Structure 1
Amino acid sequence: MTDYNHLSELELQAVIEQAEKALKDKLTNKRKEVLAQIKELAASINVAVEFHELADKPQESKSARVGVKVPVKYRHPQQPELTWTGRGIMPKWLQSLLDQGRDKSEFEV
């Protein structure tokens, strides 16, 4: 095993990049082998298996909620362009109305 304490920052970065590439290659090859085994087993019982075209590429995890619009829950009574979804910090217009003794349910959409 290499003594990493004697390597410079650039050398360590190069080792990390090489290791990441080697790992990616191994995972890709393993995936191809497993898919081939699945196809072979399926063919042995006369079942056709089709993999989605993205099945050969590792998926990057992405949030399913990215870009999801949240419906408006509260609207200012005199200025309808002022709205709030109920998420995050309460807007100043709603806070000032509540400070005046009004009930939040009055502004629900």
Structure 2
Amino acid sequence: MPTLDIKSLSVPELLALREDIDKQLQAHRAELQAQLAQIRSVDGKTSRVKGIKVPAKYRHPKTGETWTGRGGVAGWLAKEIAAGRKREDFLIDKPARNGRAKAK
């Protein structure tokens, strides 16, 4: 492939070169998309990763609002904590408080 000194090209030549490059890129993109479509048709799967639903970990006893415990603290829980309550008060599956260890 011959080297090209783009600094010596005029503006119209640079614009023509850019159009040629864009056409080549579009051709390569179309070829790759066709190959991906062929792979997907053979595999039968899409490339999108589906999110995993996580069960709620905390529930407001009065409103029933829930929070999974992921991401930022839910607004309702932040208000309750600011009011002096503990996060553990809102756990959906509270651990038993009988003091005995679980059998293994």
Shorter-chain TM-score tier = 0.5 to 0.7
Q: 2:26 and 2:89 mapped to 1: Cα distance?
A: 58
What TM-score, normalized to structure 2?
0.56
What TM-score, normalized to structure 1?
0.53
**Within the alignment, does 1:70 sit opposite 2:79 as a pair?**
no
**Within the alignment, does 1:105 sit opposite 2:88 as a pair?**
yes
The 3 A distance-change label for structure 1 pair 94 and 24 is closer
Unaligned runs of 5+ in 1: 29-52
Matches within 5 A, 1:14-93: 14-21=23-30, 54-55=42-43, 60-63=46-49, 65-66=50-51, 68-80=52-64, 82-93=65-76
The 3 A distance-change label for structure 1 pair 94 and 69 is same
Amino acid across the alignment from 2:56 = V
State, as a whole percentage, how many aligned pairs show the same letter. 30
Q: CA RMSD in A?
A: 3.2
Structure 1 residue 23, shift from structure 2 partner: 5.7
Q: Which has the larger radius of gyration?
A: 2
The 3 A distance-change label for structure 1 pair 12 and 75 is same
Name whichever structure is richer in helix by fraction.
Answer: 1
Q: 2:32 and 2:80 mapped to 1: Cα distance?
A: 58
**Any runs of at least 4 consecutive aligned residues in structure 1 with deviations exceeding 4 A, and if so which?**
21-25
State how many pairs are aligned. Answer: 79
Amino acid across the alignment from 2:61 = P
Amino acid across the alignment from 1:76 = H
